[in-house]
Structure 1
Amino acid sequence: MQEQNPIVLMNFSGIYREEEFWKNRQVSWIELQDVCGTNCYCDEEAIAEINKRTENYPTAGIHFIDSGNYHYMTRLWLTRMDQPFCLLVYDNHTDMQPPAFGGILSCGGWIAAALEELENLKYVILVGPDEAAYEQVDENLKDRVIFLSREKLQVMNDEERNWFLRETVSEVCNWRKSEGLQEDAEKFLPLYISVDKDVLCTEDAQTTWSQGDMRLTTLVSGVQTVLECAKESSGKIAGVDICGEADAEAVHENEANDYANEKLLEVFEGLFGKSDCE
């Protein structure tokens, strides 16, 4: 695989051209504005074209995937995982809705598709949706989902939230313990992290979807806790993606998003060197 920068900007809408967080860094651009059939739903032709344009980019990287309309991109990055792994998602929505149009991949159903189709995906840790939304999820999917609701987050302090994350990540990623394997088996499953900024309150982000009430400081603290947990366990972060931009026409609302992207990138930066991309 050719050398690539570990920070990747996926240009579906053009919104990143109006942001500053990436401009003093080495980044790779993947141009996708000309690909039809990508907004909210991604048809087979679009998937084939996206896969073609991303084929030289590894899952091990920090992928900015535009607005939540394109959150299905996480599903496409995860397809490349060739070993058992876990997935941590921050989102104001479950993204486990049944597809409205047959089996087409959508931003609202990509987690369900991943659970159903990716044999290597062992567990999903889902942080942020409200309890009523989770009640609508197919019961067959819940066996492999650890859920932290918006309501529970509201009554927890930072210490309690971070304790929950640390304990949960340690438990689900402890492959040897959960599967009863031998001592010399791989102990910590790789963890992929996906952040949709619609989990944040409107003071800290402006997105294309309904938003939660989490503060950016809480999100950053939680992510830092997860990264520390993985490091202490000699675990590997398999990849990262971030979405939740505003509409390209709403540039005047995008200052908060730019700041949030900067703070999240500061947390994740350094996880992946160019050697990981070769």
Structure 2
Amino acid sequence: MHPSVTFLNFDDTYTWQRNLLRFPHEWIDMYDIKGTNLYCDDQAIREIESRLTRRYTRGITFIGSGNYHYVSYVLLKQLHEPFTLVLFDHHTDMNEQTLFPLLSCGSWVSYAQKHVPALKHIVIIGSATSHVSSCVTIFPKSDMMYAPMTIVRAIPTKHIYISIDKDVLRPQDAQTNWDQGTMPLQTLVTYIDHLYRYKHVLGVDICGEDVSFCAKNEKANEAIIRACFKHISISSAS
């Protein structure tokens, strides 16, 4: 994983987060693609995939509002090593849409289960829904911190991909356009630290922006970047 940042500009939320733009980064405009808000039609997904394949580096990808979290599915399709998706999210994003089976911010995890062969397991942390199956392990939202190694031990693969929707965080630390969880930012940073220490991270993406709360979200985004870059720099130097 490369120590760089890619901003996907669907909604202009990152133009107001000036401190983030100080990190080495690549900017990819997506705002002109029609059919992307909440749901993504086939033509839109093909265009998003085309623009993502032209990226120079693959490190941390910022997606924008949680309305576009389905882009994680596109990013997962690019992975080939067997991996576990580690999802920090107040929602499972596993809604089955049988009537109109469009890819959406609420169904992308189910899409990944069906269409990403390298995806072997899913661990969801902070969800309002509690459910455990042979393919999905959920640590539901709680006012108590789960022991980081408990989460690490729930991951059966060496490789992982981390996807973060900031709606998992308490409103004091981030503000999104969806209902939110109770996780403190420092707890999230601690989990990231342990995941990097004990697993091989193939990539990270982050969403959950709200243009009305850019300053608060920018601080959370910066903390997440620094938590990841600390380990990327160490592994790159070794």
Residue 28 of structure 1 is matched in structure 2 by 26
2:140 match: 149
Q: Aligned equivalents of 1:271 and 1:54: distance in 2?
A: 24
Q: CA deviation at 1:23?
A: 2.5
**Structure 1 residue matching 2:220: 3-state secondary structure:** helix
- Give 1:268 deviation, angstroms: 1.1
After the TM superposition, which parts of structure 1 deviate over 6 Å for at least 4 consecutive aligned residues? none
- Per the alignment, residue 41 of structure 2 pairs with 43
Q: Which residue of 2 aligns with 1:161?
A: 147
What's the offset of the Cα at 1:5? 7.4
Which structure is richer in relative contact order (CA contacts within 8 A, separation 6 or more)? 1
* Amino acid aligned to 2:11: S
Normalising by the residue count of structure 2, what TM-score does the alignment of the two structures yield?
A: 0.91
Tell me what 1:10 maps to. Answer: 8
Kindly report the root-mean-square deviation, in angstroms, between the aligned alpha carbons of the 2 structures.
2.1
| Deviation for aligned residue 1:134 | 4.1
Query: Percent identity among equivalent residues?
Result: 34
When the two structures are superposed, what TM-score results if normalisation uses the length of structure 1? 0.78
Where in structure 2 are there 5+ consecutive unaligned residues? none
Name which one, 1 or 2, has greater alpha-carbon Rg: 1
Q: Distance in 2 between matches of 1:202 and 1:59?
A: 32
Deviation at 1:162, TM superposition (A): 1.2
Q: Aligned in 2, Cα 1:58/1:100: closer, same or farther, shift over 3 Å?
A: farther
Partner secondary structure for residue 94 of structure 2: coil
Corresponding residue SS for 1:124: strand
- Unmatched runs of 5 consecutive residues or more in structure 1: 174-187, 231-235
Q: 1:162-201, aligned counterparts within 5 Å? A: 162-169=148-155, 172-173=156-157, 188=158, 190-201=159-170
Rounded to whole Å, the distance in 2 between the matches of 1:67 and 1:43 is: 18
- Asked whether the equivalents of residues 59 and 77 of structure 1 are also in contact (C-alpha less than 8 Å), the reply is no
Q: 2:122 aligns to what SS in structure 1?
A: strand
Instruction: Please point out which of 118, 121, 124 is paired with 2:122.
Output: 124
Q: 1:256, CA displacement in angstroms?
A: 1.2
* Structure 1 position 269, deviation (Å): 1.7
Give the counterpart of 1:226 among 190, 195, 212.
195
Structure 1 residue 217 and structure 2 residue 182: aligned? no
| Matched residue, 1:179 | none
Verify: 1:206 aligned to 2:183, yes or no.
no
Structure 1 residues 28, 267: CA separation in 2 closer, same or farther (over 3 Å shift)? same
Q: How far 1:21 moved relative to its partner?
A: 3.2
The alpha-carbon distance between structure 1 residues 73 and 271, as it changes in their structure 2 partners (threshold 3 A), is farther
The CA distance in 1 between the partners of 2:189 and 2:3, in whole Å, is 23
